[in-house]
């Protein structure tokens, strides 16, 4: 099984087994009043760790590599990717980043498409509209990883 993560304040996730999405959605890790980013990262880390304990058989964690040009989004993306690497290392699960451009090209044939195109591309794997672009990206990451690495 592969767990794919689109790491952000609203993290998309998708679980793929034998080429089928068996679970997907979005988790909101927004900062609460008075919280630092660190508290948000701890909540994300705890959620990921518990999720992996509750879903035995995950052999690969795949996540979209943070590519932002600075600011809060970069800090959040980089720190969450670090937590994925930490939890993966703790649990002995391989973890692989995927470049945004690579994912977009695989999903749509072009490396510079907008969020709507990615949402549309995810529908064929989900059979429904995703909750948002975060879930769509996670679904596409999961299917990309399945094709590249198997599940």
Classify 119 as helix, strand or coil: helix
**pLDDT more than 90, % of the chain:** 84
What are the structural domain ranges in the chain? 2-149
pLDDT confidence bin for 123, thresholds 50/70/90: very high
> How many helical (H) and strand (E) elements, i.e. helices and strands, does the chain have?
5, 5
pLDDT for 77 equals 87
Q: In sequence order, what are the beta bridge partners of 98?
A: 64
pTM of the model: 0.94
Mean pLDDT of the chain, nearest integer: 94
pLDDT for 69 equals 64
CATH no., domain 2-149: 3.30.420.10
Report the C-alpha gap between 73 and 56 in whole angstroms: 31
pLDDT for 82 equals 95
pLDDT confidence bin for 73, thresholds 50/70/90: confident
Each residue's pLDDT tens digit, 12-66: 999 999 999 999 999 999 999 999 899 999 999 999 999 999 999 999 999 998 7
Report the C-alpha gap between 14 and 61 in whole angstroms: 10
pLDDT for 38 equals 93
pLDDT for 71 equals 78
pLDDT-wise least confident of 45-49, 62-66, 73-77, 116-120: 73-77
């Amino acid at each position: 099984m592969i767990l794919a993560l689109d790491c952000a304040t609203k993290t998309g996730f998708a679980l793929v087994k034998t080429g089928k999405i068996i679970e997907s959605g979005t988790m909101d890790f927004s900062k609460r009043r008075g919280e630092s980013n660190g508290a948000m990262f701890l909540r994300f880390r705890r959620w990921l760790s518990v999720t992996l304990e509750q879903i035995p058989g995950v052999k690969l964690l795949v996540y979209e590599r943070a590519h932002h040009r600075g600011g809060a989004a970069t800090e959040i993306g980089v720190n969450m990717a670090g937590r994925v690497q930490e939890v993966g290392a703790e649990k002995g699960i391989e973890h692989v980043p995927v470049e945004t451009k690579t994912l977009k090209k695989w999903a749509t044939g072009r490396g510079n498409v907008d969020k709507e195109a990615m949402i549309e591309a995810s529908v064929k794997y989900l059979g429904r509209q995703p909750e948002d672009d975060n879930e769509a990206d996670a679904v596409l990451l999961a299917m990309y990883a399945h094709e590249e690495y198997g599940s």
